[in-house]
Amino acid sequence: MNRIFLLGDSTCADKSEDKRPETGWGMVLQRLVKKPWQVVNLAENGRSTKSFLEEGLFDRCLGQLSEGDWVFIQFGHNDSKDDEQRHTDPWTTYQGNLILMTDTVLEREAHPVLLTPICRRRFDEQGNLVQTHGDYPKAMISLAKSRNYPVLDMTEKTYQLLAYLGPKESKKLFLHLEKQEHPNYPDGAADDTHLNEWGANVVANLTLAQLRDLYSQVPFL
């Protein structure tokens, strides 16, 4: 059985019942791909390329990886954090970690795909969407072009979507709840990073649409 591995952070990761309706986009991918392909979501909350490697999470992928599998690699939200456990420089250590993961997957005769991080919902006072990921998306795209890695620019695609929707309608994709609207969040929620189920569906479908544009044929679509 061929598998699709997801490596990333909380925007992709599985969520426990006490965190719902927060939904990682990886949670909905299984129902969007052909059988018998299996999605293995190894994304974890709060991880950067550095912590994902150092905590042995990438090794978990390698322990299951077979020839012909696909591996989606999406990081950037947490690589900019200041703490030593997660921080990377976009043009040096971030790129180096991506090279390590991508080349190792290629050595196993599997198919790596890099994905830039999805956009946060942050608008300025004039209603313009603000880009919050610094140079990390640019660094990933530059690396992919220089080494001929496949890459999906999900930062740009989700930026376009949120900018089109605007400050009000874009809330419908994220974890925004009124007080007492959901038992898991009695005080409500205003989270502009993490998706709800609808948002996860939208991002997962956007991801697969980008994949179709990149490849003439994708075996699980």
Which of 190, 153, 221, 148 has the alpha carbon at shortest distance from 22? 190
CB of 105 closer than 8 Å to CB of 41: no
Helices (H), the chain: 49-54, 57-64, 93-107, 136-147, 154-169, 197-214
The Cα-based distances of 45 to 3, 16, 48, 131, 157 in angstroms read 22, 11, 9, 21, 22
- Give the rounded distance of the alpha carbon of 62 from its chain centre: 19
Please, are residues 32 and 219 in contact by the beta-carbon 8 Å criterion?
no
Residue 59, amino acid:
D
* Residues that are catalytic: 10, 181, 194
Q: Are the C-beta atoms of residues 114 and 95 closer than 8 Å to each other?
A: no
Q: Which residues contact 62 (CB under 8 A, 6 or more apart)?
A: 104, 108
Cis peptide before 36 (omega within 30 of 0): yes
Instruction: Collect all residues with Cβ–Cβ distance below 8 Å to 104 and sequence separation of at least 6.
Output: 58, 62
